[in-house]
């Protein structure tokens, strides 16, 4: 099947264990919006189809030659005609949530046996080492974007540096990101979140980018805990589910 085959249908391009991919599929299903589900790792022409309409990354919600990036659930709602309001979580609450999430992710990362870091997640060529690093990188990239005024996809998905070869070292990187977040917020003057940021999915209020960042980091933290459980390792002090209230997080940590 190619993109041109069904011009009027809504299509969702996604990949396994992508936090915003899982959420947008759940969101559309909840609102009874039918869509063609396209796993870009399995669909042979997916990337070709995306490139034809000018799209560069997933998750993507498309209809014909028009599309929106699903990192912004407000953009998705407007695109498919859903009248819905995202739960309002204050910037301060989001910072507090991210602090707890980063601390938990560092605990979980330390529990991953070094010998397991090279193993891949189910149905996706992403190693546990890359996942653990990415759980912190999403916040680090946000902080970089505040300084440099643009959040790029390349910054968000940057691979771990060669020195991050052990669970302890990756967790230490997470501790550094957590401190950086706290120090930045303590000195940041625009606490209401109205500051407009440039991102690869459009210009957005910082409050919206904060929500996406907290949600992204939260889902990957849950994935680390789930992976530990599958190794028969009890996650160290797992976070209560209330931590994720109001965040844009799918019900399942890992895709089936």
How much is the average pLDDT of 133-137?
Answer: 98
Interacting residues of 210 by C-beta distance below 8 A, sequence separation 6+ = 91, 94, 95, 142, 193
252 within domain boundaries:
no
207 within domain boundaries:
yes
Q: Does 3 have pLDDT greater than 90?
A: no
**Exposure letters 82-115 (e unless 16+ CB within 10 A, then b):** beeeeeebebeebbebbbbbbbbbbbbbbbbeee
Pair 75, 102 in one domain? no
128 within domain boundaries:
yes
Domain harbouring 42, CATH code: 3.40.30.10
Pair 235, 136 in one domain? yes
Domain harbouring 227, CATH code: 1.20.120.450
Range of the domain at 118: 91-244
Q: Which of 79-88, 99-108, 170-179, 238-247 has the lowest mean pLDDT?
A: 79-88
Of the candidates 69, 40, 49, which has an alpha carbon nearest to the alpha carbon of residue 6? 49
**Cβ atoms of 35 and 11 closer than 8 Å:** yes
Q: In this structure, what token pair is assigned to residue 239?
A: 């976070």
Pair 72, 16 in one domain? yes
Continuous segment of H or E residues that includes residue 89:
none
Place of tokens 């990192």: 71
Q: Does 4 have pLDDT greater than 80?
A: no
Of the candidates 91, 170, 90, which has an alpha carbon nearest to the alpha carbon of residue 135? 170
Pair 76, 99 in one domain? no
Pick the last residue of a domain from 80, 101, 122.
80
Q: By percentage, how much of the chain surpasses pLDDT 70?
A: 96
Pair 69, 44 in one domain? yes
Sheet hosting strand 196-199, strand order edge to edge: 150-151, 196-199, 202-205
Q: Does 24 have pLDDT greater than 50?
A: yes
Give residue-wise pLDDT tens across range 43-99: 999 999 999 999 999 999 999 999 999 999 999 999 999 987 777 899 999 999 999
**Cβ atoms of 126 and 119 closer than 8 Å:** no
**Cβ atoms of 196 and 206 closer than 8 Å:** yes
Place of tokens 């739960």: 87
The number of distinct structural domains making up the chain is 2
Chain Cα centroid distance, residue 30:
20
The DSSP code for 120 is B
In this structure, the strands spanning 60-63 and 66-69 are antiparallel
**Cβ atoms of 69 and 201 closer than 8 Å:** yes
- State the pLDDT at residue 256: 63
């Amino acid at each position: 099947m190619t993109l041109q085959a069904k011009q009027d249908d809504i299509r969702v391009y996604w990949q396994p264990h992508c936090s915003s991919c899982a959420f947008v599929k759940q969101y559309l299903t909840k609102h009874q919006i039918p869509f063609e589900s396209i796993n870009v790792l399995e669909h042979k022409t997916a990337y070709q189809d995306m490139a034809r309409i000018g799209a560069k990354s997933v998750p993507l919600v498309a209809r014909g030659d028009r599309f929106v990036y699903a990192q912004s659930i407000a953009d998705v709602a407007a695109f498919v005609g859903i009248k819905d309001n995202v739960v309002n979580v204050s910037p301060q609450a989001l910072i507090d949530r991210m602090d707890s999430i980063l601390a938990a992710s560092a605990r979980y990362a330390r529990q991953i046996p070094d010998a397991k870091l090279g193993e891949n997640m189910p149905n996706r060529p992403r190693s546990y080492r890359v996942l653990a690093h990415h759980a912190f990188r999403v916040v680090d990239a946000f902080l970089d974007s505040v300084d440099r005024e643009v959040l790029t996809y390349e910054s968000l998905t940057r691979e771990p540096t060669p020195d991050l070869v052990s669970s302890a070292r990756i967790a230490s990187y997470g501790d550094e990101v957590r401190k950086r977040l706290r120090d930045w917020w303590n000195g940041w003057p625009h606490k209401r979140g109205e500051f407009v940021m440039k991102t690869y999915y459009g210009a957005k209020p910082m409050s919206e980018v904060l929500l996406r960042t907290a949600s992204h980091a939260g889902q990957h933290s849950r994935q680390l805990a789930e992976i530990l459980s599958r190794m028969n390792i009890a996650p160290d002090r797992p976070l209560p589910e209330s931590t994720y209230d109001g965040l844009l997080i799918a019900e399942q940590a890992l895709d089936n």
